[in-house]
Structures are given as C-alpha cells and as structure tokens.
C-alpha cells in the first residue's frame, strides 16, 4: 500500500523485506525520495550479546517512513511523544521530513552511548579484578567484553561512510538554516568509533596483562614444585641407600637411626637456607 502510494522502487521494497542489508543509501531524484539502510546496536538478552538492529527508511519532501527490523525504543518513544504532545509534533513536522529524520537518528545515536558506558564500566571492573579474582573468571569476562566490542565495531564501521553520504544527500530535504544538523550525526558516529578504538586497545592490553599474570602464577607454582623436588631428592637418596638390606656401622641401633634423621634434617635445612639466600623463594 505504501509502495503504491509513494511510488517506491521494487528493489527498495525487496531490501526492506530481506533479513539483512548492509548500510547504504539509494537516491531517486526524479521520484523525489531517498531510501537508506542503517544499523544500530541492540542488546539481545536471550543470547546476552550485542546484535545489529536494522532501520530502513524512506524520506520524501513531505513524509518519513521507518521500518525497523526489531523495536528500537528511541524511535518508538519519539513517535509516541509526537502522538501525545501536539506542540512537539508541530515543532518537528513543521520543518520538513529531513528535520524529523535528524531527530530520529539523533535519538538513536544518543541511545548508543549508554551501551558504550556499560562496556567502559566492565573494562574498569576487569582492571580492578585482574590481580584479585581467579584467572579463569577474568579470561571469560575479557572474552565477553572483547566480543561486545567486536560486534559493536562491525555495526559502526560500514556505517561511517554511509552517514557522510547521507549528510550530503539530505540537504534538499532540509531548510537552508538546518543543513548543518546532519554533521552532528556524523560527529556522533565518529565519537562512537573513537571510543571503540580506545576500548579495543584497552581490552587487548588487559588480555596481555592477564596472560602475563597467569604465566607468572604458573611459573611460581613450577618453581615451588621444583624446589620441593630438589630438597626431597637427596633425602630420598639417603633413605634408599640406607634402606638396602646391608649391614653398616650402627646397623639395627637407635643411634644410627637418629644420626641418619639428623643428617637428613641438616641437608634439608641447608638446601632451604641456600634457596632463601638466593632469593628463589
């Protein structure tokens, strides 16, 4: 019905009905409308990860039609406010479809920053827990945060060039005094990308540090086990030697038994003192 009313191209309708499209812009100068596809991050509680929510929209001189693949709360809230607040509706609708689209995209990009703040908070928590919690737990948490950052980057990266193109193409749908508004949208996407780059470096540094901590702990365990083995080795040799069924001076006497025990203790004490002197423990 909408396609027949506004004369949209069949290929655009096919893009709307398809499950996933890359961010893009198609401009139809003669028909007087613009079709675009953008992606925004949405947290899926079912799988506990970030997914890309697609927003398809048609913009003409006197209309804006949006087709989100899943509910985008900023869009829902904005249009609900327009339904309830006549003054706000007049303010947004009176300046053309481009101005209304700007507010839709502005709310959507504002919605992106709280997700970034949560990722930043997780990174801060990981940094504090790095030397306190079990290494296995930290590895799992780092992997989860890294996956979120990668997913977010996959959403935003192809969209940056699309937004720059949208800024140029939207000029004919905006009053002259509002042509700079979409530059604010481009700036928001660049700020998001800069934060993601920063988070990527932080999580990689945390991963390297955690691996170093795990390696240090493993080396420490191996050192202790090696020192224990070194200390027990001469004692085992002595007990094996005197445990042979041969006669030696003091055989089958308490004096010989305590002499051998004293010698073993002296050797163990000497080895422990040597290790402490070398500061291996």
Clarify whether residues 165 and 264 are in a common domain: no
Q: What was the pLDDT predicted at 109?
A: 92
Clarify whether residues 58 and 167 are in a common domain: yes
Q: What was the pLDDT predicted at 135?
A: 65
Clarify whether residues 208 and 241 are in a common domain: no
Clarify whether residues 115 and 88 are in a common domain: yes
* pTM of the model as a whole: 0.76
Q: What is the pLDDT of residues 233-255, one digit of tens each?
A: 888 888 877 777 777 777 777 77
Backbone angles phi, psi at 134, to 5 degrees: -65, 140
Clarify whether residues 264 and 196 are in a common domain: no
Enumerate the H helices of the chain as residue ranges. 2-6, 10-17, 73-84, 86-93, 97-129, 135-169, 181-242, 254-277
- On whether the CB atoms of residues 106 and 187 are closer than 8 A, the answer is no
Mean pLDDT for back-to-back runs of 10 residues, the chain (281 residues): 87 86 88 91 79 91 90 90 88 86 91 90 85 73 89 90 87 75 88 93 88 82 85 84 73 78 87 80 68
**Total domains in the fold of the chain:** 2
Task: Label residue 151 exposed, middle or buried (CB < 10 Å: 0-12, 13-18, 19+).
Answer: middle
Helix (H) or strand (E) holding 39: strand 33-44
Domain boundary among 176, 193, 217: 217
Clarify whether residues 87 and 209 are in a common domain: yes
Clarify whether residues 241 and 119 are in a common domain: no
- Residue range(s) defining the domain that contains residue 246: 228-277
Clarify whether residues 204 and 263 are in a common domain: no
Average pLDDT of every residue of the chain = 85
Clarify whether residues 38 and 98 are in a common domain: yes
Q: What was the pLDDT predicted at 226?
A: 86
- On whether the CB atoms of residues 155 and 41 are closer than 8 A, the answer is yes
Clarify whether residues 17 and 119 are in a common domain: yes
Clarify whether residues 171 and 63 are in a common domain: yes
Clarify whether residues 210 and 236 are in a common domain: no
138 part of a folded domain: yes
**Measured between alpha carbons, how far is residue 130 from residues 135, 136, 226 in Å?**
8, 11, 27
- On whether the CB atoms of residues 200 and 121 are closer than 8 A, the answer is no
């Amino acid at each position: 019905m909408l396609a027949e009313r506004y004369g949209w191209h069949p290929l655009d309708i096919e893009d709307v009905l398809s499950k996933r499209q890359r961010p893009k812009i198609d401009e139809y100068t003669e028909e007087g409308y613009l079709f675009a596809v953008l992606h925004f991050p949405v947290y899926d509680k079912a799988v506990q990860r970030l997914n890309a929510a697609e927003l398809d929209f048609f913009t003409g001189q006197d209309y804006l039609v949006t087709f989100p693949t899943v509910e985008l709360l900023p869009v829902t809230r904005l249009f609900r406010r327009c339904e309830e607040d006549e003054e706000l509706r007049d303010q947004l609708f009176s300046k053309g479809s481009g101005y209304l689209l700007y507010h839709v995209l502005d709310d959507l990009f504002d919605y992106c920053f709280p997700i970034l703040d949560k990722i930043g908070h997780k990174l801060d928590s990981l940094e504090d827990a790095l030397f306190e919690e079990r290494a296995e737990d930290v590895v799992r948490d780092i992997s989860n945060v890294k996956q979120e950052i990668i997913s977010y980057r996959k959403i935003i990266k192809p969209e940056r060039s699309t937004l720059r193109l949208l800024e140029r193409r939207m000029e004919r749908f905006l009053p002259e005094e509002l042509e700079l508004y979409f530059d604010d949208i481009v700036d928001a996407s660049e700020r998001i990308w800069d934060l993601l780059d920063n988070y990527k470096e932080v999580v990689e540094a945390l991963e390297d540090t955690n691996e170093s901590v795990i390696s240090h702990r493993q080396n420490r365990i191996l050192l202790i086990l090696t020192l224990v083995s070194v200390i027990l080795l001469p004692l085992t040799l002595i007990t094996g030697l005197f445990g042979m069924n041969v006669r030696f001076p003091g055989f089958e006497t308490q004096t010989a038994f305590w002499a051998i025990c004293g010698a073993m203790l002296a050797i163990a004490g000497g080895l422990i003192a040597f290790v402490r002197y070398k500061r291996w423990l």
